[in-house]
Amino acid sequence: MSELEQALARAPLFGEISLPAVVACSGGPDSLALLALARTAGLLPIAVHIDHGLRAGSDREAGVVRRAAQRLGTRVRTVSVQVGAGSNLEARARVARYRLLEQLRRELAASVVLVGHTMDDQAETVVLNLLRGAAASGLGAMAPRSELIVRPLLGLRRADTEAICAELDLEVVRDPTNDDRSFRRAWVRHDVLPRLADGAGRDLVPILARQAELLREESSFLDDLAAASWPRGGARARDLAALDAVIARRAVRRWLGAPPPRRVEVDAVLAVARGERRAAQLTGGRRVRRTGGVMHHERRHRAGDYGFGA
């Protein structure tokens, strides 16, 4: 059995996707392997390369994607997006990328957007979220499917995607930032996880990925329970104040939406529900107040201003 066939057998999500599908394709081995697997699965994939213009020579990577698409017999689109200088550059580039991918998905009448995150990426995300002080939902890391974003490769290792590209003799892009330890993910990849694995005497990537799956399932269950508990029949303060603290915190997070509130902000909202405060100011220009026994969530900006990610 070829590397491609073995990988496809370990990626059952491909069988659940309607065609055609957009494939976010940077030209790296993960995204090119994803394109090859989507083609083999019969999804009529459309490779989409987005150039952020953030490093010299990035425009040449589109040629790698075009040549791979031609070799695999798939459609391809190459586009550019401008990301202004400033703080949180990676996060803003990610938001811009996903917005453009969704726009192209609609234009191309595609069912979903496929992205090439692997099990190794999942393990790194768990560690990164742990360092941020994330709750259980954050430690659940990336879901295999988040609405129209699908990650079919979470059951595969980075070495699997390299092997697929080698088997198909595909030219790949090597992003130098992946080895730049000034980026926290690269530091986790090259320093933190290898040292933890050495200390544990075992490969921690599948263990962290398995833990993420369990936490994600439990977190989803609690989220559903919170959604069913409040707001129900109106955002009444007394109903929220009466909930168990664990469910109440989740209900508040779901009610507030993006950007995700900090724990201190959630506690402030609960204090408003209990009548201990009249209002609470939140990040993103938001405010929560209680009037006539009802909780009100006011936004200074439109919901779309907060962007989205995966």
Is 184 inside a domain boundary?
no
Pair type for strands 22-24 and 113-114: parallel
Q: Are residues 111 and 26 in the same domain?
A: yes
Phi, psi of 281 (to 5 degrees): -90, 135
Q: Are residues 260 and 170 in the same domain?
A: no
> What whole-number percentage of the chain has pLDDT above 90?
78
Residue 302's pLDDT band (cuts 50, 70, 90): very low
Reduce the DSSP state of residue 23 to 3 states and report it.
Answer: strand
Q: Are residues 156 and 245 in the same domain?
A: no
Q: Are residues 163 and 51 in the same domain?
A: yes
Is 135 inside a domain boundary?
no
pLDDT tens per residue across span 216-243: 999 999 999 999 999 988 899 999 999 9
Residue 165, amino acid = C
Q: Are residues 103 and 243 in the same domain?
A: no
| Peptide bond connecting 45 to the previous residue in cis, omega within 30 degrees of 0 | no
pLDDT tens per residue across span 26-81: 999 999 999 999 999 999 999 999 987 666 667 788 999 999 999 999 999 999 88
Do 236 and 293 form a contact (C-beta atoms < 8 A)? yes
pTM of the model: 0.87
Is 275 inside a domain boundary?
yes
Q: Are residues 161 and 38 in the same domain?
A: yes
The string over 215-248, giving b where at least 16 C-beta atoms fall within 10 Å of a residue's C-beta and e elsewhere, is: bbeebeebbeebeebbeeeebbbebbbebeeebb
Is 211 inside a domain boundary?
no
Is 179 inside a domain boundary?
no
Q: Are residues 162 and 237 in the same domain?
A: no
**DSSP track, 58-87:** GGGHHHHHHHHHHHHT-EEEEEE----SSS
CATH code, domain with 99 = 3.40.50.620
Is 96 inside a domain boundary?
yes
Q: Are residues 290 and 157 in the same domain?
A: no
Strands (E), 225-285: 279-282
Residue 300's pLDDT band (cuts 50, 70, 90): confident
The residue among 85, 88, 90, 32 whose CA lies nearest residue 61 is 32
Retrieve residue 224's tokens.
Answer: 């559903």
What are the Cα distances from residue 221, in Å, to 135, 136, 139, 214, 232? 15, 12, 15, 11, 18
Number of domains into which the chain is organized: 2
Q: Are residues 91 and 169 in the same domain?
A: yes
Tokens 């290792």 belong to: 157
Retrieve residue 305's tokens.
Answer: 């201003």
CA 213 from chain centre, in angstroms, equals 14
Q: Which domain holds residue 45?
A: 3-116+152-174
Q: Are residues 103 and 237 in the same domain?
A: no
Q: Exposed, middle or buried: residue 17 (CB in 10 Å: 0-12, 13-18, 19+)?
A: buried
Is 66 inside a domain boundary?
yes
Is 197 inside a domain boundary?
no
**Eight-state DSSP code of residue 12:** G
Mean pLDDT of 154-162: 97
